[in-house]
Structure 1
Amino acid sequence: MSRNAAVTDTTPKKPGELNWLMRLLVIIEKAGNKLPHPFWLFLSLAVVVMVLSAIFSATGLQAVNPATDETVSVTNLFSTESLREIVAGATNNFVTFPPLGLVLIVLIGVAVAEQSGLIPAMLRATIAGASPKWITFIVALAGTAASIASDASYMIMIPLGGLAFKAVGRNPLLGCVVAYAATSGGYSAAPMVNSMDTILGGLSTSAAQIIDPDYVVSPLANFYFNFISMFVVAGAITLVTELLLTKRADQIELDEPDENDPDNFDVKMALDSNEKRGMVIAVASIVACAAILFFLALPEDSFLRDEAGAFGPESGLMSGIAAIIGFGFFIVGIVYGYATGSIKKTSDIPDMMGKGLLPFVPVIVLFFAASQFLALFKMSSLGEILAIRGAEFFGSLDTGSFVILIGGWLLVALGALFLTSGSGLWTLMAPVLVPMFMLLSIAPETTQALYRIGDSTTNIISPMSPYFVVVLGFIQRYKKDSGIGTLLSFTIPLSFAMFVFWGLLFFIWWSTGIPWGPGSATSYQMG
């Protein structure tokens, strides 16, 4: 039974009783439901690009690229030559799609670490035994760090958050919401490189090469910013939870637990002796791997350095960071698996890799459609011309980079309400925003960092997010009559707080010129 005050949940349940914000979210949900699946959305957009290319090619649309002083004209994709290139290049467009290889090589390693039980154990160890005074911050911090487990992090963190709050005598419903907000809203705030870094970096690279063919956005492009963001997001969630949401939670009387309920879930919080032993050995292996990497990079002629002996974008370390991270997860996951017995024979390892990759098959399918759309968009030159004309428009307004970034931030946040796939939304926005902002002297790494904070923070209030339903299901196990209104009464303040505090961090960071990550500048100079 809950230790919170006994007051009936008065959240509106009927559509006629919804306030203006609820009505807005209902409109968003209905509008979003009318959007096709992202796969069909990108294929449809590819057709639209072809039609527009024919129209604007006939009208003679063109623009002068200030970076090269070359006149760019629209290419008609319905011409015989273009159609031949489209058919011949479909396979190459997919297999050379920048995020594809990067994501797969990271996920293969992460899959072993997750399936062996290492990542879930790390998250449980972070929360288990936490002081009641710090429980909100620790759950929030663990949620932001949980992105290393990709989408599996939701199914790990949401029930763990509820149990952690329940263990210290607080409302477990609130614990579920805090964990959800931190995991989803702070998805781009992470302590290490994850699959999202590789996806966004690959998409940003493709977009940046519209202006600069040699530009590469590394998976480490926003690493420094992401790491600090983890604490800022956790702090914002903690502040709002303790000052506001705790009072709201105290007004909700939870249902009596039903021991015979088949939906009653039981998630183990504390680590057993075998898992603790495995964690110690895994940590030792992490230290060993880091030491080996350090000594390999130490010589001036190391293969991990570039020709100048530095760790620049073309060095073995930076260009191969995805493979290094993936291999690190792979080794540590195997060590933990053998130490705990979750891996008993070598054949278990490829089985784990296969199982771990299964949840990402839909992403790979989406990549096929997205790669064709981006290839056609680039071939038509519509993206380049749109970026040039957009940059000319903003330049004529003389508003300065600050106002432009504010506009981009709000645009992304609005788009994330309708398209909650981080990679899907960036696939649409990157080909226009990245080159346009480059022409306005804003580096791709800056645009990508801006995208991350706009996209992540509004996801938690969008009914279009698949995990919105997941967290609703978890809180209904504590309070059966909880509805969308119940969940939104908690997530809206959290979303607003993260949006404001994370945004302030971004603009303070940008104004100081501190690199977003290793070798990542805040501004871009043409020529």
Structure 2
Amino acid sequence: MTTDAQLAGPTPPRTRMTAFLARVERVGNRLPHPFWLFWVLFVLLAVASAVLSAAGVSVADPATGDAVTVRNALSADSIRELVSGTQESYLAFGPVGTVLITMLGLAVADRSGLLEAVVRRSLARVRPGWVVFAVCIVGAMSKILEYSAYVVVIPLAAIAFRQVGRSPMLGMIVAFLSINAAGDANPFIAPGDVIFADIATQAARIVDPSAVVRPTDNTYFTTVSALVLAGVLTLVTERVLARREHELVPDPGATGPSVAPRLDISEAVEKRALRATGLVAVAFLGSLVLAMVPAGSPLRGEDGGILESTLFSGIAVFISLFFFCVGATFAQLTGQLRGSADLPLFMADGLRSVAPLLVLFFAISQFLALFSWTGISTVVAVNGADVLERLDAPIFVVLMMLIGGIALLNLLITSGSALWALLASVIIPMTQLIGANPATVMAVYRIADSCTNSITPMSSTFILTVGYLQTYRKSAGIGTLVSYTLPAALAMLVAWTALFALWYAVGLPLGPGAPVR
């Protein structure tokens, strides 16, 4: 664990960029924790509802045409209704169930050591010429581990770089960039994708009660993006960052971060377990495909459809089952399971790891419930859409403006799900009314949210990475990391935006049944 003593170090030379980031850090530090930020917004929203209600503000509901008048949240009857609905608002908040269900299975795969073994072996014997690209790909794929990706991949990337005679500190920086900036460009359906889709669905239903945003709605785009961003990061690393690689020299005697000890299993046992687990993974996915073949399959929709089906609507359940099966297989074959009773313990341990997220979701759910209940969400959406229509700007231009605005805001609020919950409830309904697909807005958010996380000291993972760098060189600091991440993050932001522009111009679908426009 990174200590305060580790993070302390000589002040890096002050540049315009470090001065700017220092101001960002000071402003960000004045913001409350996202949990309290949503409660502050809750209070402000309640007061605003009383003022707007007294003024008789109303708009036409875009879904029904009926008049929607702002309701006063501070009246006695309203307070009774809102307090009585607190529990329902929390439990009905889509991401709560998604996180709990997904983590039940993912925890088994994580606690069994399977995920760490896959990442470790992926980087163990990489050829020197491919080490950068390999770290980029593994970093992007490992985002499925959520925060654990940083703890697992960054130290292993340092080892991989050192094994081929390159700076382990550069390996850490490349891993950090790939997890942070390219992590939302992941071909796999990760827990974060399901959370994003749930939040987007709730926001889209402000305008269209039947709207559904699926976790797979950005899959085509993110799969291609993963390869493009890995290529861009590799190019920037080799052509730009490598020119300063000679500056990333560890202190004499520095050993680097301690990598989590391997499980007490032999190389041969682990290999056999991984092969068998791979076969289980293929069998599981193959069974899903075969189960979808019959037109009357229970995994299909009521009308036999595939997109609107049990498989897609319940994707969190199938993700959980997949990781449960492969994790349990690996744990059994490596001798970690003393009995079936161990599996619930793995699952309980995984749920403890997401407790902070569940606490944050309570605040978010109450804010969003009030936002919808008061009718202010509809008022904001309709009036915002009117402003956009008066600007007469093409939807594409509006989307580009969103990328720039969100990227700047992300310097201060670095929690992806919290910022998305805050913004989605406004920008999705507003852009829906001018013809934008919610799945397209979600793709735009991914672009803006990812890249700037790599240059802001407000990010906990940024500070974690500084701590990792200081295990090699004590003088490394915020300025050190920013000087290497800035050119790469900006290059990936530009490249990803350009890819989206091309995608939009051609009109390719973002995912199954998800048109870009």
Q: TM bucket by the smaller chain?
A: over 0.9
Deviation at 1:489, TM superposition (A): 0.7
Q: Distance between the aligned counterparts of 1:258 and 1:162, measured in 2? A: 13
Contact 1:135 / 1:164 at 8 angstroms: preserved in 2?
A: yes
Structural mapping, 1:39-188, within 5 Å: 39-188=35-184
**Does 1:287 find its partner at 2:282?**
yes
Q: More deviation in 64-73 or 396-405?
A: 64-73
AA aligned to 1:410 is G
AA aligned to 1:55 is V
AA aligned to 1:277 is R
Deviation at 1:213, TM superposition (A): 0.8
Structural mapping, 1:352-431, within 5 Å: 352-431=346-425
Equivalent residue in structure 2 for 1:469, among 447, 463, 466: 463
Contact 1:128 / 1:269 at 8 angstroms: preserved in 2?
A: no
Q: Distance between the aligned counterparts of 1:136 and 1:107, measured in 2? A: 31
Residues 327/189 of structure 1: CA separation in 2 closer, same or farther (3 Å cut): same
Contact 2:167 / 2:249 at 8 angstroms: preserved in 1?
A: no
Contact 1:163 / 1:269 at 8 angstroms: preserved in 2?
A: no
AA aligned to 1:42 is F
AA aligned to 2:398 is I
Provide, for residues 351-375 of structure 1, a one-character-per-residue CA deviation record: whole Å limited to 9, x for no partner.
1112222221000000011000000
Correspondence for 2:434: 440
Correspondence for 2:267: 272
Correspondence for 1:5: none
Structural mapping, 1:1-16, within 5 Å: 14=11
Residues 252/299 of structure 1: CA separation in 2 closer, same or farther (3 Å cut): closer
Deviation at 1:118, TM superposition (A): 0.9
**Does 1:203 find its partner at 2:194?**
no
Q: Once the two structures are aligned, what percentage of the paired residues are identical?
A: 40
Residues 138/258 of structure 1: CA separation in 2 closer, same or farther (3 Å cut): closer
Q: More deviation in 90-99 or 476-485?
A: 476-485
Provide, for residues 360-411 of structure 1, a one-character-per-residue CA deviation record: whole Å limited to 9, x for no partner.
1000000011000000001111121111111111111111011100111111
SS of equivalent to 2:355: helix
Please give the TM-score of this superposition, normalised by the length of structure 1: 0.93
AA aligned to 1:295 is L
Residues 252/295 of structure 1: CA separation in 2 closer, same or farther (3 Å cut): closer
Structural mapping, 1:479-498, within 5 Å: 479-498=473-492
Q: Distance between the aligned counterparts of 1:272 and 1:226, measured in 2? A: 34
SS of equivalent to 1:255: coil
Provide, for residues 458-511 of structure 1, a one-character-per-residue CA deviation record: whole Å limited to 9, x for no partner.
001110111111111111111111111111111101110110111111222222
Q: More deviation in 58-67 or 282-291?
A: 58-67
Correspondence for 1:4: none
AA aligned to 2:300 is R
Residues 290/55 of structure 1: CA separation in 2 closer, same or farther (3 Å cut): same
Q: Distance between the aligned counterparts of 1:327 and 1:78, measured in 2? A: 45
Correspondence for 2:18: 22
AA aligned to 2:32 is P
Q: Distance between the aligned counterparts of 1:169 and 1:512, measured in 2? A: 43
SS of equivalent to 1:134: helix
Q: Distance between the aligned counterparts of 1:169 and 1:266, measured in 2? A: 19
Q: Distance between the aligned counterparts of 1:22 and 1:13, measured in 2? A: 14
SS of equivalent to 1:420: coil
SS of equivalent to 1:265: coil
Deviation at 1:14, TM superposition (A): 4.4
Deviation at 1:340, TM superposition (A): 1.4
SS of equivalent to 1:63: strand
Correspondence for 2:6: none
Provide, for residues 208-238 of structure 1, a one-character-per-residue CA deviation record: whole Å limited to 9, x for no partner.
0100111111122212212211111211111
Contact 2:70 / 2:374 at 8 angstroms: preserved in 1?
A: yes
Q: Distance between the aligned counterparts of 2:17 and 2:93, measured in 1? A: 40
SS of equivalent to 2:85: helix
Deviation at 1:294, TM superposition (A): 2.0
Q: Distance between the aligned counterparts of 1:148 and 1:96, measured in 2? A: 24
Contact 1:160 / 1:269 at 8 angstroms: preserved in 2?
A: no
Residues 103/511 of structure 1: CA separation in 2 closer, same or farther (3 Å cut): farther
SS of equivalent to 1:417: coil
Contact 2:254 / 2:473 at 8 angstroms: preserved in 1?
A: no
Q: Distance between the aligned counterparts of 2:506 and 2:378, measured in 1? A: 30
SS of equivalent to 1:418: coil
Correspondence for 2:514: 520
Residues 184/287 of structure 1: CA separation in 2 closer, same or farther (3 Å cut): same
Correspondence for 2:5: none
Deviation at 1:187, TM superposition (A): 2.1
SS of equivalent to 2:67: strand
Correspondence for 2:4: none
Q: Distance between the aligned counterparts of 2:419 and 2:465, measured in 1? A: 22
Q: Distance between the aligned counterparts of 1:172 and 1:476, measured in 2? A: 12
Q: More deviation in 452-461 or 229-238?
A: 229-238
AA aligned to 1:114 is D
Residues 175/58 of structure 1: CA separation in 2 closer, same or farther (3 Å cut): same
Q: Distance between the aligned counterparts of 2:417 and 2:224, measured in 1? A: 22
Q: More deviation in 76-85 or 104-113?
A: 76-85
SS of equivalent to 2:354: helix
Q: Distance between the aligned counterparts of 1:143 and 1:228, measured in 2? A: 15
Deviation at 1:66, TM superposition (A): 4.0
Contact 1:107 / 1:326 at 8 angstroms: preserved in 2?
A: yes
SS of equivalent to 2:486: helix
Contact 2:194 / 2:316 at 8 angstroms: preserved in 1?
A: yes
Equivalent residue in structure 2 for 1:505, among 487, 499, 505: 499
AA aligned to 2:285 is A
Unaligned runs of 5+ residues in structure 2 are 1-8
Correspondence for 2:299: 304
AA aligned to 1:305 is R
Q: Distance between the aligned counterparts of 2:415 and 2:513, measured in 1? A: 28
